[in-house]
Chains A and B, each alone.
Chain A
């Protein structure tokens, strides 16, 4: 079993400004506390620091050419997959040197556009149906500096769409253009979608929720996906760790009071 990386609940700050919008290729996101984008809203928080640690581990693999497309999934719904995807994409895109694409592959319950307060547009579902070119529906999300391929319109045949070989075509079109591709997948146990998606990812990262996800569900998920594909587990929603650690963390990061004249002499 992989070691666990814990992540904490996000907090928020007022919506970011948007003065850079070009017609059609950039979408302006509104980041609210409920977006749970702690890496953006509270970059000095312990939660954001956990994402930096996760980014560091992933970059080590990425720089060796072993990892580019990362599938993020969980055993059951509501474990925090999309929250991890949003924060990780933001962390990987920080600095603007690396191009990051977030693909929303949960065609059953797409939520990213709503979380980011973006108007809906055609996305992965339409790409898989062969009606649009995937490159034509990618938008850069301002101010997060990564690109989004949303799920698109909801479909009754979502699972069937993800099992078509058109997915290979979509991935092969997009992969050369990006340094990182994060795939937000549906949960593993209720649906077969994640199993189809793992074929197109270099590795899979599991998300589990503290005090909610049972060990048996994690074991079963790893058995379904294949142990060799899972590179780690993110433990989301840790609160007890938060309380003991947060105070010292904040004090370390908070600006030091200026020394008095007496101290300098």
Chain B
């Protein structure tokens, strides 16, 4: 049973949502809140699985533990009065795992709650494109600032990106058609400019300070077990090394 808390300033909306959600057998509305402070208090008291909150309240409720890192115990679905770019990006920034317009069809509420409970993100159609667009624009801006801040040249930024992706000096040289020694020379300059002393530190620094794009893990085909003996050698392992 998924325990849901509804937070919205309008009584009529809360009542309508409660009626709609309680038609789902696996959803239980455990409480309601009408303003930011009561939302914060009731959330901590009732510890719901899902906080269904109006964007306006969500913005006023900081700090409401709606952190993007997901360490808050409840998961958050933000309700929007109007679907526009600004609201979608703001809801996501505040930590929403689901975004729904208040006018969404009854079936969508139960579906969104179930998907968010499964650990997925569930956004209304069109929101994903808006978020990606906003992310790209934001990253391009930050990238430019970071480049200027550390005084890195365009070539150095390219090399940083390759190092952060895990390429060796030789691979970087091959990709840019320059010799390995030149790559090392670039790296020495980069180390001096950003204040690191190793390739690993540079890679972590670059991701953290957004010199390169953060890339969350994507789903890839599983490696087959048959690859293991070729890489490791089954004979030696079976005999035991200790």
A-side residues, CB < 8 A to B, are 1-5, 24-25, 54, 57, 60-61, 66-67, 99, 120-122, 126-136, 138, 147, 153, 155, 157, 160-161, 164-170, 172-173, 175-178, 199-200, 202-203, 226-233
Contact = CB atoms under 8 A, between A and B. Distances in A.
A236 B226 CA distance: 32
Contact of B232 (A66, A136, A157): A66
B217 interface: yes
Interface of B: 68-71, 118-119, 164-168, 198-201, 203-205, 207-208, 214-223, 225, 228-229, 231-234, 236-238, 240-242
A177 B166 contact: yes
23 contacts: A2-B240, A3-B242, A57-B242, A66-B232, A126-B70, A129-B70, A132-B69, A136-B204, A138-B204, A160-B119, A169-B219, A173-B166, A176-B167, A177-B203, A178-B200, A199-B225, A200-B223, A202-B231, A202-B232, A203-B232, A227-B237, A228-B238, A231-B240
A127 B166 CA distance: 18
A228 B234 contact: yes
A3 B216 contact: no
A131 B70 CA distance: 9
Contacts of A3: 240, 242
A176 B203 CA distance: 11
B217 A67 contact: no
B94 to A, nearest CB: 14
A200 to B, nearest CB: 7
B174 to A, nearest CB: 15
Given A3-B242, A169-B217, 19 more contacts: A2-B242, A54-B242, A57-B241, A66-B231, A99-B200, A126-B69, A128-B217, A130-B216, A132-B216, A136-B208, A157-B119, A165-B219, A165-B221, A166-B217, A176-B167, A200-B223, A226-B225, A231-B237, A233-B242
A61 B241 contact: yes
B217 A135 contact: no
B240 A165 contact: no
A229 B164 contact: no
A167 to B, nearest CB: 8
A232 B207 CA distance: 36
A136 B215 CA distance: 9
Q: Is the interface of A mostly helix, strand, loop or mixed?
A: mixed
A223 to B, nearest CB: 13
B119 A129 contact: yes
Nearest to A199: B223
Contact of A133 (B207, B220, B231): B207
A165 B222 contact: yes
A223 B173 CA distance: 46
Nearest to B69: A122
A66 B216 contact: no
Contacts of B203: 135, 177
A60 to B, nearest CB: 8
B218 A135 contact: no
A38 B204 CA distance: 29
Given A61-B241, A165-B222, A177-B200, A155 B119 contact: yes
B216 A133 contact: yes
Contacts of B233: 66
Nearest to B168: A176
A162 to B, nearest CB: 12
A165 B222 CA distance: 6
A57 B236 CA distance: 13
Contacts of A129: 70, 119
Given A228-B228, A228-B238, A232-B242, A131 B204 contact: no
B106 to A, nearest CB: 26
Contacts of A54: 242
A232 B240 contact: yes
Contacts of A147: 200
Contact of A169 (B71, B165, B200, B218): B218
A89 B71 CA distance: 27
A24 B207 CA distance: 12
A221 B83 CA distance: 53
Max chain B CB contacts within 10 Å: which of A99, A121, A122, A228?
A: A228
B222 A173 contact: no
Nearest to A130: B216
Contacts of A164: 219
